[in-house]
Amino acid sequence: MARLSSARYGKDNVRVYKVDRDEASGTHTVTEMTVCVLLEGAIDASYTDADNGPVVATDSMKNTIYIKAKEHPVNPPELYAAILGQHFLDTYAHVSVANVDVKAKRWTRMVIDGKPHPHSFYRDGEDTRNVTARVSRDAGREIEISSGVAGLLVLKSTGSQFHGFVRDEFTTLPETWDRILSTDVDATWRWKPFPSLQALRDSVDVFDKAWDDARAITMKTFAEEDSPSVQNTMYKMCEKILDAAPATESVSYALPNKHYFEIDLSWHKGTKNTGKDAEVYAPQSGPNGLIKCEVSRS
């Protein structure tokens, strides 16, 4: 005997661009994002009995993503994700949960001859602003939002150490008091649940501030700290974001440790290129460390 133990379905990789034109100043603001919507609810019969009666076509979900982007603001992405998710619950009685993911790319305004340009932008980083919204009929936690930054590639050429770790018959890594540290930041902060779309609207300003603060805290801590380990540095980042964004419940990071290996060049005329003489390194594609944590309020 088999049974359907969980199911959700929807449209992924819906790419949307929206321009906001301020007629008075002639200034445009642009947003480019990729949206995913997955619905849950009384949809089992579509899997088990080939009954498409409860199926809202994924093509209709794609259309809805465009229409809601036209009708409503797409910024902050937390608000757009919540509005979109709420629409599916309000419209289809058999839908119990709408999961909405938004990933927004960077389009930063150009500064030309010292002046912000009204309609020209550039990609000043590959990091994305990510939001996941779970909109449900669960009393008291109708809208659950996580926000984050991903793909923020950083490197420091000193100011990182790693020593005092387990040494046994499997250990070859030397201790170091000065190493290169590089990672691809994936940080997420989870908000206390919102009981309604109105409650989320009432505190809508927290989202942009948290994103600015989290990105700044991540870079400042990374740059300024003499890091004893990825683990300790990411824990400090989490603590600071929890302080900066009081309406969050927890903060998590997933950080690859992207290794740069020293190269012994002594075979060439006795060239010194290790330890304090190291200048030329071999960046590694893999393997890499992967360090994760979640820090919650106690």
CB 274 within 8 Å of CB 230 = no
Of the candidates 86, 182, 218, 257, which one interacts with ligand URC according to CB under 6 A?
257
Confirm whether 259 is a catalytic residue: yes
Least separation in angstroms between residue 259's CB and ligand URC is 8
Q: Which of 31, 136, 183, 229 binds ligand URC (CB under 6 A)?
A: 229
Least distance from C-beta 289 to ligand URC, angstroms?
Answer: 5
The only residue of 27, 29, 231, 273 in contact with ligand URC, by rule CB under 6 A: 231
Query: What does the alpha-carbon distance between residue 264 and residue 274 come to, in Å, rounded to a whole number?
Result: 6
Distance of closest approach, residue 174 Cβ to ligand URC, in angstroms: 10
Nearer to ligand URC, 153 or 173 (CB): 173
CA 172-174-176 angle, 5° bins: 155
Q: Does 162 bind ligand URC (CB under 6 A)?
A: yes
**248 touches ligand URC by CB under 6 A:** no
Q: How far is the CB of 214 from ligand URC (least distance, A)?
A: 21
The neighbour count for residue 197, using CB atoms within 10 Å, is 19
If one asks whether residue 221 binds ligand URC (CB under 6 A), the answer comes out as no
Contact 64, 75 (CB under 8 A): no
Q: How far is CA 189 from CA 98, 142, 197, 247, 249, in A?
A: 20, 18, 19, 10, 8
Q: Which residue is catalytic, options 18, 58, 192, 236? A: 58
Sole residue written with tokens 């150009």: 110
Shortest distance (Å) from residue 202 CB to ligand URC? 41
Asked whether position 290 contacts ligand URC by CB under 6 A, the answer is: no
Indicate the residue among 42 and 173 with the shorter CB distance to ligand URC.
173
Is 162 labeled as ligand-binding?
A: yes
What whole-number distance in Å separates Cα of residue 108 and Cα of residue 30?
Answer: 9
Contact residue for ligand URC among 111, 112, 173, 247 (CB under 6 A): 173
Which residues in the 45-64 window bind ligand URC by CB under 6 A? none
Active-site annotation holder among 11, 103, 105, 240: 11
**Joined tokens for residue 231:** 């683990």
Separation CA 218–CA 15 (nearest Å): 28
Q: Report the binding-site residues for urate.
A: 58-59, 162, 179, 230-231, 257
Residues that bind ligand URC (CB under 6 A): 162, 173, 229-231, 257, 289, 291
Q: Report the binding-site residues.
A: 58-59, 162, 179, 230-231, 257
